[in-house]
Amino acid sequence: MLSLRTLRPTGLRGRLVITFTVVAVTASVLVAGIAYQLVRQELLRRVEQAEVTDVRNVLERITLPVGTTDLLWPSGASVTESDLNAIVESLAAPDRQVVVRHGTKERATQGSSFRVAQIPVEMRRQALTRLVKQRRIIDGEPYLVIGTQVQRERLGRERPTDISVYVFVSLRDEERTLANLRTALLQAGSITLVIAIGVALVSARSVLLPVRRLGAAARDLGAGKLDTRLPVHGKDELAHLTATFNETAAALEQTVSELRALEAMSRRFVADVSHELRTPLAAMTAVTDVLQEEAERLPEDMGQAVRLVVQEIDRLRVLVDDLIEASRFDSGTAVLSRDTVDVRDAIDECLKVRSWGEGITLDVPLGLTFSLDPRRFDVIMANLVGNALRHGAPPVVVTVRRRSDGLWVTVRDHGDGIPEEALPHVFDRFYKAEAGRSRSEGSGLGLAIAKANAELHGGTLTVENADPGALFTLWIPAP
């Protein structure tokens, strides 16, 4: 089921249009309603006033040649049916019907179906003392009912007679006029609604267009287009916002440019230092090879010192090589040279060169070939297996499978695993999870370089705890 929250417009454009339309329609309805009520009241008031005045004038002009000369109306005993008929004929009109009652006698306009019994008792009671009027719906038609008692004048004073007059004035024409007015107001309201929606759309567009431009400019800025700027038009709030955006973008561009310059200098410095260290390292490595051969024949203290120097020089050589490799990725000069490789042979060669074999189990199908960069695949496997040997516990299981979406390689050790707080940082440069692991002898760049090589292939490298141990998963998509 759709909830009100689901149906509620969430866009600023929709809310602006709806709000503007609701305000316009509400104002239109209020104005039309007030105008209709004023016209209706004035129209009915004029009809009532004209009909009441006409009834009074007719009653005042009527004279009957009955009774004494000082009577405007004859006494009850002398009123005849012809007198009642004369009153009815005097008050009758095309849209007006009359009912006259005298005692038990009742006369009405010819062909009329109206009777005094149709008039409420309360109105009849009030008509005995004064002229009353009331709008009523009779047989589905609107009527103005006027009731009064005929007065007679004797010796300068008006006295009531037993004659009651009820006039039924049809309001059909007025109701038709009001119906036409309602139709006209409804049509005007419909036109107003269309105009309101059109104006709302135009207004929303004029308001939202700068906002959309700001949004697009912000996305461009986030995508690295730091030279993005917007023209400033006018002096309203949106213009101030646009000017503020331009100022912020300019400040951001300057800051990022400075940071990029510093980062480039840092990378260049690391690359230059790494390259400069290669020459002395090569000479030191040659010397340490000789010293290592003589270490066994040297005194114990000197032999231990020589072995320590050889070990540290090897670590320095690995660090320099890793720094040079990282600088290639940072500078964007790292390239991929794919070749069809026997995956098992490549992994065997990687382990053999590094004299790794004990405590490692391979689960690789024979004859499995795949298109990848052999050197970079060797770097990935060396870092993953070396990391498992240094920080985990045997056996280290290497599993390779080829699936429809590419090559999947997992490397799992059976140690204590990686602390949960360290998992998000495993591939960070120079990050070492020392809790629960022995002191690292690596450079702190191996896993970062392995991940960069995997991404250079278009793949991924992830890690998770497998209980026991840590599980690294390499995926390389088929080219």
Locate 35 and state its tokens.
């105008």
pLDDT digits (tens, 9 = 90+) for 88-107: 888 888 878 888 888 778 88
381 and 468 in one domain?
yes
Helix, strand or coil for residue 322? helix
- Please tell me the distance from the alpha carbon of residue 290 to that of residue 452, in angstroms, as a whole number: 36
Q: What span, in angstroms and rounded, lies between the C-alpha atoms of 37 and 141?
A: 20
Residue 64 above 80 pLDDT?
A: no
User: In this structure, are 131 and 208 located in the same domain?
Assistant: no
For position 175, what pLDDT does the model report? 87
Q: What is the domain-level CATH number for residue 155? A: 3.30.450
The full DSSP string for 230-274 is ----SSSHHHHHHHHHHHHHHHHHHHHHHHHHHHHHHHHHHHHHH
CA angle in degrees (0–180, nearest 5) for 285-290-293 = 120
| Residue 310 is assigned to a structural domain of this protein | yes
Say what the pLDDT of residue 63 is.
Answer: 63
264 belongs to a structural domain = no
Among the listed residues 91, 122, 123, the one whose alpha carbon sits nearest the alpha carbon of residue 107: 91
Would residue 395 count as lying in a domain? yes
Q: Are residues 79 and 120 in the same domain?
A: yes
Last residue of a domain, one of 170, 186, 207: 170
Q: Structural domain of residue 382, as residue ranges?
A: 339-476
The answer to whether 17 and 204 are in contact (CB under 8 A) is: yes
State the CATH number of the domain containing residue 375.
Answer: 3.30.565.10
The predicted model gives 223-228 an average pLDDT of 83
Contact 231, 241 (CB under 8 A): no
Comparing CA positions, the residue from 143, 144, 64, 161 lying closest to residue 105 is 161
> Which among 189, 207, 223 is the end of a domain?
223
Is the per-residue pLDDT at 266 higher than 70? no
Does any domain span residue 323?
yes
Residue 438 pLDDT grade (very low, low, confident, very high; cuts 50, 70, 90) = very low
The residue-averaged pLDDT of 30-46 equals 88
Residues 140 and 50 placed together within one structural domain of the fold: no
Going by pLDDT thresholds of 50, 70 and 90, the confidence category of residue 267 is: low
If asked whether residues 286 and 368 sit together in one domain, one would say: no
Q: Quick check: is 317 in a domain?
A: yes
Residue 206, in any domain of the structure: yes
DSSP secondary structure code for residue 415 in this structure: S
Number of domains in the chain: 4
Share of the chain above pLDDT 70, in %: 82
CA distance 116 to 106: 8
Q: Which of 130, 42, 52, 49 is nearest to 91 (CA)?
A: 52
468: preceding bond cis by omega (within 30 degrees): yes
Mode of pairing for the β-strands spanning 360-363 and 396-403: parallel
Cis upstream peptide for 74 (omega within 30°)? no
| Whether residues 191 and 101 fall in one domain | no
Last residue of a domain, one of 133, 154, 170: 170
- Assign residue 406 a region: left if phi > 0, alpha if psi is -120 to 50, beta otherwise? left
Classify the C-alpha dihedral 422-428-431-432 as positive or negative.
positive
214 lies in the same domain as 295: no
CA–CA gap between residue 158 and residue 477 (Å, rounded): 115
Choose the most confident range, by mean pLDDT, from 84-93, 269-278, 294-303, 401-410: 401-410
Distance CA(312)–CA(414), nearest Å, equals: 28
Element (H, E) at 175: helix 172-222
Residues 350 and 439 in one domain: yes
Tell me: do 419 and 349 sit in the same domain.
yes
Query: Predicted confidence band at 201 (pLDDT cuts at 50, 70, 90)?
Result: confident
In a domain, 371, yes or no: yes
- Say yes or no: 349 and 471 in one domain: yes
Q: Is residue 298 part of a domain?
A: yes
Judged by phi (left if over 0) then psi (alpha if -120 to 50, else beta), residue 134 lies in: beta
Q: Which band of pLDDT confidence, cut at 50, 70 and 90, is reported for residue 368?
A: very high
**Same domain? 472 vs 354:** yes
48 & 188 share domain: yes
Residue 76 has pLDDT above 60, yes or no: no
